[in-house]
């Protein structure tokens, strides 16, 4: 638990931050700011899964390739 002087300072910081954020939101709204969240924000693209074999399957494929290669 925080000492009382730190808890009070933190509480005051959070209150001041809330007052500022509220003022900023109201001022932006008054000035006609439109954030356009849905229309302008690009959708993140999901990473395509790798086609590379992993683990045991990779070792078996490598072994099969070695077995099928003719030795000259």
- pLDDT surpasses 90 at 15: yes
* Total structural domains within the chain: 1
Residue 6 lies in a domain: yes
Quickly tell me which residue has 């910081």 as its tokens: 13
Confidence of residue 71 (pLDDT cuts 50, 70, 90): low
- Residue span of the structural domain in which 13 resides: 1-33
Distance CA 22, CA 17 (A): 9
Q: Each residue of 23-67: pLDDT tens digit?
A: 999 999 999 998 766 666 667 788 888 888 889 999 999 998 888
Residue 54 lies in a domain: no
């Amino acid at each position: 638990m925080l000492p009382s002087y730190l808890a009070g300072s933190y509480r005051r910081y959070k209150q001041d931050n809330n007052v500022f954020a509220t003022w900023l939101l109201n001022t932006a709204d008054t000035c006609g700011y439109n954030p356009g969240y849905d229309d302008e924000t690009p959708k993140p693209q999901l990473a395509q899964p790798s086609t590379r074999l992993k683990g045991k399957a990779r070792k078996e494929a490598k072994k099969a390739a070695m077995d099928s290669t003719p030795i000259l």
